[in-house]
Structure 1
Amino acid sequence: MLIALDWGTSSLRAMLLDGGGAVVERRERDWGILSLPQGGFAGACAAITEGWPAVPAIACGMVGSAQGWREVPYVAAPAGIDAIASRLVRIAPAGGPVLHLVPGVSGRDAAGAPNVMRGEETQVAGAGVETGLVLLPGTHSKWVRLEGGRITGFDTFMTGELFAVLRGHSILGRAVPADGATAPLCRDAFTRGLAAARASHQGIAPLLFSTRALVLSRQIRAEESLDYLSGLLIGDELRAGLATGGRAPCTLIGSAALVERYRTGLKLFGAPAAREVEDAAASGLWRIAQAAGIGR
């Protein structure tokens, strides 16, 4: 058996895995690395695993960052599961399970600039992709290229964070009613944004104000404008990402709502149908632990 922890900035997810890697039980707390309970990291780890068998544990995510429990240096790409497993850092806290922290991966983006990931490498490991493209949409979307089961390079798009900033701190979100940010997806507005981004040859900056102009000209309602903005930003990401990744088979990992938006966008851009992977973090932690000889 194995305890698998996905420990990020805002939350801690714990999974008890059986001898074959299947999830037996899940627990989740709002104990990210910046919001720890009394007792800090050790206290959080002991509390969330209380009552579980005394088996080894493995954790990925920001818990291994400079702001985490203990910093784990990045593994340089190209990197596969064996390379990641060989660089685990072991912690033996009092009152909790022996914990192994997974390193992140450093590499280069398509333009050759330095890039890093921490947590996504474990989800990629869980996807089981040998050669192709893994897309992880989110606050900082990752487009990860793999060859022979190894991460060879990746690009990061701050799509989710840009959306949050523009929604909360710009004129583009000011006209939206208080309940508009949580309204159901307006597919027409979202698709219109995707199409506008696809047709543009100037990048995202000249398109952004169209979100406001369409509302003022009454071509879309204010409460639909955030979905249009989402379409613009995701569409711009897809345009750039597909230009780099080409027609490589794509695997999607993420929340159901985001995956659906990206699936819609990939179809509009004429990309091949994407495969979707669930529980990628649990699978990845299990595979890394197995490669390191942990939990056998």
Structure 2
Amino acid sequence: MVTAVAAVPSLIGLDWGSTSLRAWLVGPDGTVLEERKADKGASTLSGHAAFVEAFDDVSGGWRTAHPGLPVLACGMVGSAHGWLDVPYARCPAGAAVLAAGLRRPDGGPFIVPGVLFDDTSLPPDVMRGEETQVVGTLHLHDTLRASSCVVLPGTHSKWTQICAERIVRFATHMTGELYAVLRQHSVLGRLMPDDAPVDPDAFVQGVDAARDHGELGLAHQIFAVRSLGVTGRLPNDMLADYLSGLLIGHELRAGLQWRAMAGLGPQPLALVGAPNLCARYQVALHRFDRPADLVLDNTAPAGLLALARAAGLLPLAPLESQ
């Protein structure tokens, strides 16, 4: 448990993903006063009773100490394999639309809906959890509200286009999951030692390969990771970071082009997520001559607080811009 300065809490917030559960006691300005974690993700639980038990374990003490606080949850807890299947909100989706879509299982928290983008011209895209981080980002930084691109790196990276404080479209890249699959279940992983040190130069080489020769195709360049190792062009210790740079580089190549196709002109670009991963994306963005204008840590607590206010569960009060 991480304890911050004493303050009167306004909300209990949960980020309930597939494999893990994070809970926060949130202050009136979005500050996290206390945090708890549990290996009780939505995909590890089965049945209503199991979810109630996990919910009580992680937040029961807070709910007893602070009766009446609203409790909101985001993430895969609202999916078909979660506690309650909460219907997606369709783009364009802002705080008001998401707040209107809150649903609550018996004995549980209000669950934030995910977001669906489906303009029928391309396959649909979905998110659960990232929409809450986007809401928190926009409430904390008013410079992003009119028009911006918010990128959320991760297992399934999201590139979200913001217009008038709403998510108007987004694109998902399975960059993190693809890296894990290739590392663990392909011939590439056999060449990569588990204890190899982080190699920033190898990462940059991978990014540059995607930037300069991405027209050769991702599938071809992925195999080049093996051929570079087999021929000794790259030492085995460098291959994992080269692969990471290659995959992130292809994501940025596509994402920046997708962003430019929106035709909205210059607009801020923000990175939101784990600091170490955002730092890696920022290095890659520099190689594309487009560094992020803002780099932010997890904004889900502020997003949950903003959604509680939008739903009328708390008095309206603007969060401070930072």
Q: Distance in 2 between matches of 1:213 and 1:158?
A: 24
Name the aligned partner's letter for residue 275 of structure 2.
A
Q: Which residue of 2 aligns with 1:9?
A: 18
Q: Distance in 1 between matches of 2:223 and 2:59?
A: 49
Where in structure 2 are the equivalents of 1:245-284 lying within 5 Å?
245-246=259-260, 247-284=266-303
Q: Distance in 2 between matches of 1:46 and 1:19?
A: 23
- CA distance 1:151–1:110, change in 2 (3 Å): farther
Which structure 1 segments of 5+ residues have no match? none
Q: Distance in 1 between matches of 2:310 and 2:150?
A: 21
Q: Which residue of 2 aligns with 1:26?
A: 35
What is the Cα deviation at residue 212 of structure 1?
A: 1.5
Say whether residues 1:105 and 2:115 are aligned partners.
Answer: yes
TM-score of the aligned structures, taking structure 1 as reference length: 0.93
Pick aligned residue for 1:176 from 192, 198, 202: 192
Q: Which residue of 2 aligns with 1:151?
A: 167
Where in structure 2 are the equivalents of 1:133-148 lying within 5 Å?
133-148=149-164
Q: Distance in 2 between matches of 1:132 and 1:63?
A: 28
Say whether residues 1:48 and 2:58 are aligned partners.
Answer: yes
What is the Cα deviation at residue 216 of structure 1?
A: 2.2
Q: Which residue of 1 aligns with 2:6?
A: none
Secondary structure of the 1:49 match is helix
Q: Distance in 2 between matches of 1:261 and 1:59?
A: 28
Figure out how many residues of one structure are paired with residues of the other and give that number.
Answer: 289
Pick aligned residue for 2:227 from 213, 217, 220: 213
Say whether residues 1:222 and 2:233 are aligned partners.
Answer: no
Say whether residues 1:126 and 2:126 are aligned partners.
Answer: no
Name the aligned partner's letter for residue 166 of structure 1.
L
Contact 1:60–1:122 under 8 Å retained in 2: yes
Q: Distance in 1 between matches of 2:119 and 2:31?
A: 34
Provide Cα deviations, 1:228-268, integer angstroms capped at 9, x if missing partner: 01111100010000001125321111112211111011110
Q: Distance in 2 between matches of 1:173 and 1:251?
A: 32
Q: Which residue of 1 aligns with 2:204?
A: 191
TM-score of the aligned structures, taking structure 2 as reference length: 0.86
What is the Cα deviation at residue 47 of structure 1?
A: 1.2
What is the Cα deviation at residue 111 of structure 1?
A: 6.2
Secondary structure of the 1:51 match is helix
Contact 1:110–1:154 under 8 Å retained in 2: no
Contact 1:31–1:37 under 8 Å retained in 2: no
Q: Which residue of 1 aligns with 2:246?
A: 232
What is the Cα deviation at residue 190 of structure 1?
A: 0.5
Where in structure 2 are the equivalents of 1:44-83 lying within 5 Å?
44-52=54-62, 53-54=66-67, 55-83=69-97
Q: Distance in 2 between matches of 1:174 and 1:241?
A: 30
Q: Distance in 2 between matches of 1:150 and 1:172?
A: 41
- CA distance 1:109–1:273, change in 2 (3 Å): farther
What is the Cα deviation at residue 102 of structure 1?
A: 0.3
What is the Cα deviation at residue 226 of structure 1?
A: 0.6
Provide Cα deviations, 1:25-78, integer angstroms capped at 9, x if missing partner: 100011101224994111111111132112220000000001111111001101
Q: Distance in 2 between matches of 1:40 and 1:16?
A: 22
Contact 1:109–1:115 under 8 Å retained in 2: no
- CA distance 1:56–1:143, change in 2 (3 Å): same
Contact 1:238–1:266 under 8 Å retained in 2: yes
Secondary structure of the 2:270 match is strand
Percent identity, please: 45
Contact 2:70–2:308 under 8 Å retained in 1: no
Contact 2:151–2:270 under 8 Å retained in 1: yes
Q: Which moved more, 1:24-33 or 1:171-180?
A: 171-180
Secondary structure of the 2:61 match is coil
